[in-house]
Amino acid sequence: MNLIAAVDNNWAIGYQNSLLVRIPRDQQMFRERTEGKVIVLGRKTLETFPQKQPLKNRVNIILSHDRNYTVRGALVVHSIEALTQVLAQYDDRDIYVAGGAGVYEQLLSRCDTAYITKIDYAYQADAYFPRLDRMADWQLTEDSEEQTYFDLEYYFQKYERKK
């Protein structure tokens, strides 16, 4: 499985249930990489999407502890065990874990590739992605040229779990 996230210099991903910043090229990369695939996310992450709706042209699987939670256009599961059963029908290479922090932490051990947009800035934040750069079993395998959005610099990176 894959992880996909935009992180700042401190590996922060959000603040008060919102993204830290919206970079059009990052959003385009996310769309290109995940269209036609499966995305796994938590309820709070879904609520950061436009109109708080599942993304089109993807299988949206929402992990929520709230057994009464439903959303049109998505499959809602209530445990990692239920998620595992649902994901068994898909190719691991087509599954993207898209947040938030708790979902990333719960599924990190099952993933072997991470697509990271690394933003060269430190935001005020309260949600973080696991620090792959400090984990011995992960390595940076791709790093793009510097990208810019106004005065913000960022990089598209790929981390892979060491075999």
CA distance 1 to 114: 9
Q: For each of the domains in the chain, give its residue range(s) and CATH number, in order of start.
A: 2-161 (3.40.430.10)
Strands in the chain per DSSP E: 2-7, 12-15, 18-19, 38-42, 59-63, 75-77, 95-97, 113-119, 127-128, 138-143, 147-149, 152-161
Mean of per-residue pLDDT scores for the chain: 97
Q: Is the pLDDT of residue 163 over 90?
A: no
From the CA atom positions of the chain, what is the Rg in Å?
15
Query: How far apart are the C-alpha atoms of 96 and 33, rounded to whole Å?
Result: 9
pLDDT tens, residue by residue, 96-119: 999 999 999 999 999 999 999 999
Mean per-residue pLDDT, 45-62: 94
Give the pLDDT confidence score for residue 48 in this predicted structure: 87
Global model pTM greater than 0.85: yes
